[in-house]
Every structure is written in C-alpha cells, then in structure tokens.
C-alpha cells in the first residue's frame, strides 16, 4: 500500500437504520493517498452504506469520520436512479455538480474518451444498454475529478472489452480508489488492500495484499474459528452431561454441578458465531412448467443497434425443451432490448408456444415491484391455485435457502441491496415454474460464493433457456446448445 499520508479515517464509527438494522459497530479503518482498495462483505452487509458515509449522504450515529481538508469524493453507483432515466446525457452530467458548469459539453466529450463511449449529448439515458449505462455511471464520477473515487460494482453489465478498458484505467489511475465488486479476477489486477465488512461483528477488518491472498487468509481464519467452535461445543456437551449427573446427587455434588455450569457459561462465551459471510445460499432447483413439450421458441428475425439505429436481421433459432441459447455481442448492440421484447411478447419474428410461462430475470430488477414486501413479491409469483397455509410454510422455507430471514421478508423490495434483490428474483423463478427462462446478466450484484450454486441450478433446468452473461467462468458451468452472436449476423 501507499506510504503517503492518511486521507481518511473511521474512528469507532457506528451506524444503523433504525434499531433493527445495525450496519457498523465502532468500526475503525484508514485509507492512504493513492491506495487502491477493495471493500468486501456479504450482500446486504452495508458496503454501499459505507460509501454514503464517505460522501456525507449519511452521518454516523457515533464516532468520527476524519477526512483530509478539501478532499473531494465522488461515487460511481451501481445503477442509474429511475428518476434520471428520462434525462438527456447533458442533463445527467449536469446533475453531478451543485452549481452550473458552463463548459459541460467538452467535459462530457473528454470523459467519454476515457470510458470508450461515444453518443450524442441529447440522447435519453434509458435508451442506453445496461453496459453503456455502467460506463455512464463511471463517467459521472470521473467528470468530477475527485481525490477519492468510489466504484460500486463497476463491471456489472460490461462486456470483455469494457472490463479490459476499465482495468487499464485503474492500473494507470494516480488518485485514491475504493472498489466494491464481486469480480475476483478484475479486483486482483489492481487491489493493494482489502477492507472486510463483517456482517456479524459490524466491524471493518483491514488487510494488506492482493485480493486472492486476502480471500485465502479470511478463509483460513474462518476454518480456524470453526475448528475452535467444534472443540468448545464438544467440551460444553460433556460438561453439561456431568453437571446434570452431579446435580441429581445432592449435597456437595450440587456445588460441583453449580461450578461446572459456571464454567460452561464461560466456554459458551468463547464460542465464535459462524460468520454470516461464510454462508452460501442452499442448492436450489427451478422446476419447469409441466405441460410444456416440443418446440417452445422460434426466432425468424431480431433487431440490433448499429450506429445508434435499429436494423432488422434474419436468423433461424429454434428452442425446444431442455435447450439453451447463449446470446452474445458487445455493449449497446441491443441484447437487453431483445430479451425484454421476448419476455413481453412484443417482438416481431418471434413465436413462443401458446401457454408458455416465461420467467424473466432482468438485470435492473424492474420486473419487481419496489413497493411490495419481499413476502408479497414471492407470493405474487405463485400460481393462482395455491393453498394459502401451505404457501406460507413453503415461502419461508424457500426464502431461508436464499438467506432471506423473517426481517427481510417484511422489508420492501426497494429497501434491499442490489444483491438481495437478485436473490429474491431467483426465489421467484423457483415459484413461477417457467417453461421458458430468460436471464439477463444473472450474476450482477451477486456474491461470488453464490454463483456456483446458481450455475448448478440453471444447468439442471429442463425448460428452454436464453442467457446473456459477460462472465465466461459462469457460462462455462452451464451447458449451452446454441450461440447467437448479434455482432456477426
């Protein structure tokens, strides 16, 4: 790590969303000028909250956040807010500043060169693809030329070329940068240290070294704690049996039993709770719509984007039950638009077998009602002929497998982290029992521990599937029967 001055320090910082959702408990860490740091932690642990504390959008309940004088901070967020989707490019960047910027157009052009994106300044934000929106989010932070750059899942939706471009930028970047990402290979190329937010202790542990070394160090520590727990629990069980035996004898033996119980209490305090970061979602299975047989989908033509214009191309794609199509192409060519039209039956040249139930995992989670509680969202995914008493048991059991506890079930979708929204979306697919599964970047925002479980579930799915993913390691774990490269048709 850099030996330059400390530009930011958390000193016993505590923060919570109300009394039932603590995030930080007397957290301590520091960041030096010029350092490139990864912020790690499970989905929902509060990583994005730390970014909001750094930008003073939120304020700590107690403790102090000491920031170097005149230090400027900017964040490239995970997603563009819904209320900014109708803005033009120019209006979007103007909102990055608290006062009017008179040379905004040349500044936009300059930052577009950095992110390798070219578009008219009067183009509407919602017309950009997911990958292009990811670049716009990065540009919105860079245009402010901050001393401290905060990147929240910057590789989400980026194609291979986009990730390579971002990686080179960060390697050459001279200022301080803190990154939240689940892309391990990307992180390991530039990380000099890790801040690890422990969802159990609510503290931040600081490590020096590259990303892979730190992950290995954390894994060894967790295994050590689990071995210690096993020894303590065995000792406690043995002493409880003895205390119970002596307690029934009376007289002096009762004193012996009392002292043994005191020792048991001491040992129980030494037990380290299994850290929730070490938890992974349970193996799950997405059932296929039972009555579906034969050809499920036929595509005769697709619309792609070339030079900011829609162009129709002829294709010949047939998908039967248990067949999978991988849809590829660079950011901005129209993959998400194609999937959306398919999912809603608004696409020319598309024939989906009548009665087919479509399960659609959308990268921005706009298929979810953000005002619903998680419980209501899951319930709405069920068929109409469900038994309500059975449903409640089924929903809670399913939710637990996706690390969704009773508190989260009562939480509104809009209050969840992006990673938690992703887990809710997968749980809904299990309940929907689709005949056709459409997946648009299903690993975005998802904790790396969950990805092999999700890949295994998709590989076992027996319906028809269309997948878009820019994560080769994920795609390799799923059988693919056909590839449609939109750039080559």
Q: What are phi and psi of 113, to 5 degrees?
A: -65, -40
Q: Cα separation of 104 and 31, whole Å?
A: 31
Kindly report, residue by residue over 400-416, the tens digit of the pLDDT. Answer: 999 999 989 999 999 89
Q: Is the per-residue pLDDT at 9 higher than 90?
A: yes
Looking at the chain, the whole-number percentage of residues with pLDDT higher than 90 is 49
* pLDDT tier for residue 482 given thresholds of 50, 70 and 90: very high
Q: Cα separation of 330 and 8, whole Å?
A: 38
- Among 356, 319, 361, which Cα is nearest to 457's? 361
Integer CA distances (angstroms), 362 to 32, 50, 130, 197, 263, in order: 38, 27, 10, 28, 54
pLDDT recorded at residue 472: 85
Looking at the chain, the whole-number percentage of residues with pLDDT higher than 70 is 94
Q: Cα separation of 13 and 10, whole Å?
A: 6
Q: Cα separation of 80 and 55, whole Å?
A: 17
Mean pLDDT, the chain, whole residue set: 87
Q: What is the DSSP letter of 362?
A: -
* pLDDT tier for residue 160 given thresholds of 50, 70 and 90: confident
* pLDDT tier for residue 398 given thresholds of 50, 70 and 90: very high
Kindly report, residue by residue over 466-477, the tens digit of the pLDDT. Answer: 999 988 889 999
Q: Is the per-residue pLDDT at 211 higher than 90?
A: no
Q: Is the per-residue pLDDT at 34 higher than 80?
A: yes
Q: Cα separation of 306 and 433, whole Å?
A: 36
Integer CA distances (angstroms), 62 to 11, 15, 57, 59, in order: 9, 7, 16, 9
Average confidence (pLDDT) over 123-141: 90
Q: Is the per-residue pLDDT at 262 higher than 50?
A: yes
Torsion of CA 221, 224, 228, 230, to 10 degrees: 120
Average confidence (pLDDT) over 369-387: 85
This prediction has a pTM of 0.69
Average confidence (pLDDT) over 219-227: 80
Integer CA distances (angstroms), 113 to 85, 119, 360, in order: 22, 11, 34
* pLDDT tier for residue 2 given thresholds of 50, 70 and 90: very low
Q: Is the per-residue pLDDT at 268 higher than 80?
A: no
Q: Which two three-digit tokens encode residue 431? A: 């309940």
Q: Is the per-residue pLDDT at 1 higher than 70?
A: no
Average confidence (pLDDT) over 218-232: 80
Q: Cα separation of 38 and 218, whole Å?
A: 14
């Amino acid at each position: 790590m850099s030996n330059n001055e400390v530009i930011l320090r958390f000193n016993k910082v505590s923060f919570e969303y109300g009394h039932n959702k603590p995030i930080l408990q007397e957290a301590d860490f520091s960041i030096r000028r010029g350092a490139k740091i990864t912020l790690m932690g499970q989905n929902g642990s509060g990583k994005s909250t730390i970014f909001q504390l750094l930008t003073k959008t939120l304020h700590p309940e107690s403790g102090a956040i000491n920031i170097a004088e005149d230090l400027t901070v900017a964040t490239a967020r995970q997603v563009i807010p819904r209320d900014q989707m109708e803005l033009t490019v120019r209006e979007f960047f103007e909102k990055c500043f608290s006062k009017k910027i008179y040379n905004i157009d040349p500044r936009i052009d300059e930052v577009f060169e950095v992110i390798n994106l070219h578009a008219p300044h009067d183009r509407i934000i919602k017309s950009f693809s997911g990958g292009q929106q990811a670049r716009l989010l990065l540009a919105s932070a860079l245009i402010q030329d901050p001393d401290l750059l905060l990147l929240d899942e910057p590789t989400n939706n980026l194609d291979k070329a986009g990730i390579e471009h971002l990686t080179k930028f960060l390697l050459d970047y001279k200022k301080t940068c803190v990154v939240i990402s689940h892309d391990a290979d990307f992180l390991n190329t530039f990380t000099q240290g890790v801040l690890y937010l422990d969802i159990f202790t609510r503290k931040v542990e600081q490590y020096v070294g590259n990303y892979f070394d730190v992950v290995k160090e954390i894994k060894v520590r967790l295994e050590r704690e689990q071995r210690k727990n096993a020894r303590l629990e065995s000792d406690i069980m043995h002493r409880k049996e003895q205390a119970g035996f002596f307690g029934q004898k009376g007289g002096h033996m009762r004193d012996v039993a009392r002292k043994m119980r005191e020792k048991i209490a001491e040992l129980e305090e030494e037990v380290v709770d299994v850290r929730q970061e070490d938890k992974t979602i349970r193996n799950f299975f997405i059932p296929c719509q039972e009555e579906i047989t034969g050809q499920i989908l036929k595509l005769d033509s697709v619309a792609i984007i070339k030079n900011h214009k829609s162009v129709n191309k002829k294709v010949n794609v047939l998908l039967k039950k248990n067949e999978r199509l991988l849809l590829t192409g660079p950011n901005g060519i129209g993959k998400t638009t194609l999937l959306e039209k398919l999912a809603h039956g608004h696409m020319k040249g598309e024939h989906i077998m009548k009665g087919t139930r479509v399960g659609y995992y959308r990268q921005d989670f706009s298929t979810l009602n953000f005002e619903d509680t998680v419980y209501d969202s899951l319930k709405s995914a069920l068929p109409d002929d469900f038994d309500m008493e059975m449903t409640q048991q089924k929903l809670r059991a399913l939710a637990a497998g996706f690390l969704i506890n009773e508190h989260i079930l009562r939480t509104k979708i809009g209050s969840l982290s992006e990673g938690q929204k992703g887990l809710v979306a997968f749980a809904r697919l299990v309940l929907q029992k689709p005949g056709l599964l459409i997946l648009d970047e299903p690993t975005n925002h998802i904790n790396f521990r969950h990805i092999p479980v999700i890949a295994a579930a998709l590989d076992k799915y027996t319906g028809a599937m269309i997948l878009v993913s820019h994560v080769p390691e994920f795609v390799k774990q799923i059988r693919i029967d056909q590839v449609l490269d939109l750039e080559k048709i």
